Structure 1
């Protein structure tokens, strides 16, 4: 699926029901897009955020993470 997608670096991606954010992270790595992820499981998004912070990718890769309680 990722190889069939033609995105430009200025493209914006939204993933609803993102879970562990595998798809947006792969799209970011391949196409340098920005991403917004939405999931009901705040704990999953916080886990992903912690991994990205450790890799210094948080601010540059995921533009926002949204849960319904925000």
Structure 2
């Protein structure tokens, strides 16, 4: 049962990461900003392999920054 819950959490986080990736790729920002956002997104993805809760918190912070930058939530 616990394994099913863990798999579900991975699925939710994977969907959120995919959505964040789409936002970063489509963002109309300077190249340097896109590189930094991409680097941070990759760091969250790597963190997800070891600690789902930490990765989710980091993704929350990144998504908030995307919102602040006015990057559309498509």
TM-score when normalising by structure 1: 0.30
- Structure ID, larger Rg: 2
**Larger strand percent:** 1
More helix by share: 2
TM-score, L = length of structure 2: 0.29
